[in-house]
Amino acid sequence: MRPVGFLLIWAFAANAQNPPADYLDLYSTLQQHLTTFDATLTSQWNGSKPPVDFCAELRTPGAANVLLSLGISPTALVEAEIQSLQATGVTTVSLGISFPSLYQPFFQYNGDPGDYQKYLSFYQQVAADIRAAGMRMVVHTEPLYTGVLTQNSGLDVASYYRTLTTSAYITARTHQILTIAQLIQPDYLVVAGEPDNEAAMTGQPSLATAAGFTNMVDTFLTQLNEAGFTGTYVGAGIGTWLSGDAAFIKSLAANPRLNFIDLNVFPINGGLLDTTAALIDQAAATGKPVTISSAWLEKRRDSEYPAANIAADPNIFGRDPFSFWAPLDQQFLSELVKLAWWKRLALVSAYWTDYFHAYLPYNAGNAALPYNPLRNDVIQASATAIQNNQYDSTGLAWKSLIQTPVVPPLLVSAANSQVGPVAPNSIVSLFGSDLATSTVSASMPLPTALNGTSLMFMDATGSTEPASLYFVSPGQVNAVVPAQLAPGPVTFQIGSWSGTATLAAVAPSLFSASNSGRGPAAALVTVLHADGTSSVGYAATCTGSSCSNSPIDLSSATDQVFVELFGTGIRGCNSLADVRVSVGGVLVTPSYAGGQGQYPGMDQVNILLPKSLSGRGTLNIDLSVAGQRANVVTIGVK
């Protein structure tokens, strides 16, 4: 196999152009901004690489109308794009669902009321495809742009916005957010993110103020709670170019229902990358996680900054498609990834992922094209590349940046196999080579040596403890981390192999029925009947390695239906109050969270399903313990 470095060099040679004379000044200025920030970042970042949910924007849904005009099936391309992004190493994709594309009254106004269901069905299918790939989903929702940026959409939003008072606008936006929470069920929901653009696009000037914008976001949060979506993981924030940014963050963070602060990063003029780092610190000081759900290098001259509608200018967007930008786009992505590690961000997403697959050559014909024809050519070139499983140098660079090489042996949670901290007294899997001479499973009580194989841990205090072993094989060992170990860095030794890991008091993860850490939950369903009897069944049905949810019946007014979830890394929580579970965006109160009692290291969380979930189909289960989120699994409700 050729190393990634070789692929990058080959792709760059195949696609790169020198900047044309008209753009030499802009290219040089942006390069200097990036280089200056890199020096700052390098001098302050210690080189550590904590877990960050690196994400990428799913661009196909937003280009659906253009794709249809080109004879390309958006639905088929969505699946291909999800797979292509997953192959770069992302485990989460971001998706924009702009207002009013899921608001029924708008389609009445627009003269095509039947299109509402078409849009809803399309986005539900996109969500289903994302879940089928075992990935998480971010939905960011904001007003649809006006003017040339929506010329191909068939949606007359500019006129519609003018019909809405501020109160009516907020009510309509709230309705769409509730629809997204109930029917799309994202893992992250960013309800608002660019106050200045939202105010300018919709003609609602109060939204450009910290008080007006926060009032709108607070309304969203209140209505989500009142509708029962108390478990939906909600964020809001600003673009890092916003004047008065500190006041917005302080005002937003005052609402305890807001789960995270989100930043959008596009222009880098005027020291905005340093501003971004400072804003992250300010947001983190509120005690909330910080995310960057949209980021790309905006091709703006210093003389063009600041400006109105700074992230919605087609004249600026029209510079993006040309291949001579590839090296700068890659430099920006490199700074973005290092910033994420430096500031320990929860999630970071690259936005213009069209350019992971294809740029356009800069020539006289392309340079003269207006924005929309140029954008259509980009969409077609990107779609063709996705269908052919092709990446350009920027896509390969992103893959190289976020896929930190793992040197075996690798120690991960046995429930989800995700790299990150593990907890004392949790079940882990160790992957490598030549870990054992044969394959053997243990019986109870678990031994600390199995067929000549043992696994030893040493924590930072020097305490050395053996792990109890469930299973050993040459390529994998399943074990229980000794309960006596202190949280912090640990080393482990198995045969001639040694490695390092991090122990945390809690590191929650949930078992899935397929043992992949995603899809239908490995769970029991207990129904307590009114006559005092009970029945027990499984939440999933498996045939071979294929598992599906077994629909849970919530139709009885008298039955109580409990789900027993199984996982690991949970029991270290201080109290039940530290455990947060949402089902389909509805917060439920666990009746128990702790050791399962029968199998060492196995934990259990018991929840009562509310009747309000009846008929909602496949639902995400989102578990967090002491602020640490587990992998998402699903149940089905009929």
Looking at the fold, whether 340 and 461 belong to one and the same domain comes out as no
Which of 299, 280, 286, 396 is closest to 346 using CA atoms? 280
- Which residue reads 């960011």 in tokens? 140
The reported pLDDT for the residue numbered 3 is 29
| 46 DSSP 8-state letter | -
SS (H, E, C) 521-574: ECEEEEEECCCCCEEEEECEEEECCEEEECCECCCCCCCEEEEEEEEECCCCCC
pLDDT digits (tens, 9 = 90+) for 578-597: 999 999 999 999 999 999 99
What CATH number is associated with residue 178?
3.20.20.80
Looking at the fold, whether 425 and 375 belong to one and the same domain comes out as no
The reported pLDDT for the residue numbered 9 is 30
Rounded CA-CA distance 76/92 in Å is 19
Structural domain including 555 reads 509-637
Strand, coil or helix: 96: strand
370, 402, 434 - which closes a domain: 402
The model carries a pTM of 0.88
Looking at the fold, whether 415 and 398 belong to one and the same domain comes out as no
pLDDT digits (tens, 9 = 90+) for 468-481: 999 999 989 999 99
pLDDT digits (tens, 9 = 90+) for 227-273: 999 999 999 999 999 999 999 999 999 999 999 999 999 999 999 99
Looking at the fold, whether 114 and 29 belong to one and the same domain comes out as yes
Looking at the fold, whether 250 and 371 belong to one and the same domain comes out as yes
Looking at the fold, whether 9 and 142 belong to one and the same domain comes out as yes
Looking at the fold, whether 473 and 426 belong to one and the same domain comes out as yes
Looking at the fold, whether 458 and 548 belong to one and the same domain comes out as no
The reported pLDDT for the residue numbered 410 is 87
- On average, the pLDDT of the chain sits at 92
Distances (CA, A) of 101 to 200, 354, 411: 19, 22, 44
The reported pLDDT for the residue numbered 7 is 28
Looking at the fold, whether 177 and 46 belong to one and the same domain comes out as yes
The reported pLDDT for the residue numbered 434 is 86
Domain total of the chain:
3
The reported pLDDT for the residue numbered 69 is 85
| pLDDT of 8 strictly over 50 | no
Looking at the fold, whether 241 and 220 belong to one and the same domain comes out as yes
The reported pLDDT for the residue numbered 485 is 93
- Rounded average pLDDT over 329-345: 96
- Rounded average pLDDT over 502-516: 93
| pLDDT of 2 strictly over 80 | no
Contact 434, 494 (CB under 8 A): no
Rounded CA-CA distance 587/127 in Å is 20
Confidence of residue 607 (pLDDT cuts 50, 70, 90): very high
Determine whether 339 is exposed, middle or buried from the number of CB atoms within 10 Å of its CB (0-12, 13-18, 19+): buried
Confidence of residue 4 (pLDDT cuts 50, 70, 90): very low
| 180 DSSP 8-state letter | I
479, 503, 527 - which closes a domain: 503
CA dihedral 540→541→546→549, nearest 10 degrees, is -40
Q: DSSP string of 319-374?
A: TTTBGGGHHHHHHHHHHHHHHHHHHT-SEEEES-GGGGT--B---HHHHT--HHHH
| pLDDT of 171 strictly over 90 | yes
Rounded CA-CA distance 128/479 in Å is 34
Give me the residues paired with residue 552 across strands.
637
Q: Which residues of 227-262 are buried (b: 16+ CB within 10 A; e: fewer)?
A: bbbbbbbbbbbbbbbbeebeebbebbbebeebbbbb
503, 529, 555 - which closes a domain: 503
Rounded CA-CA distance 461/458 in Å is 8
Looking at the fold, whether 483 and 547 belong to one and the same domain comes out as no
Confidence of residue 17 (pLDDT cuts 50, 70, 90): low
The reported pLDDT for the residue numbered 313 is 85
pLDDT digits (tens, 9 = 90+) for 119-144: 999 999 999 999 988 889 999 999 99
Contact 457, 465 (CB under 8 A): yes
Confidence of residue 518 (pLDDT cuts 50, 70, 90): confident
The reported pLDDT for the residue numbered 405 is 63
| pLDDT of 543 strictly over 50 | yes
Alpha-helix residue ranges (DSSP H) falling in 194-352: 195-202, 210-226, 245-253, 272-285, 314-317, 326-343
pLDDT digits (tens, 9 = 90+) for 53-85: 999 999 999 999 889 988 999 999 999 999 999
The reported pLDDT for the residue numbered 134 is 85
Looking at the fold, whether 200 and 337 belong to one and the same domain comes out as yes
**Containing H/E element for 130?**
helix 115-132
| pLDDT of 613 strictly over 60 | yes
Percentage above 90 pLDDT, the chain: 85
The reported pLDDT for the residue numbered 50 is 86
What CATH number is associated with residue 440?
2.60.40
The reported pLDDT for the residue numbered 404 is 66
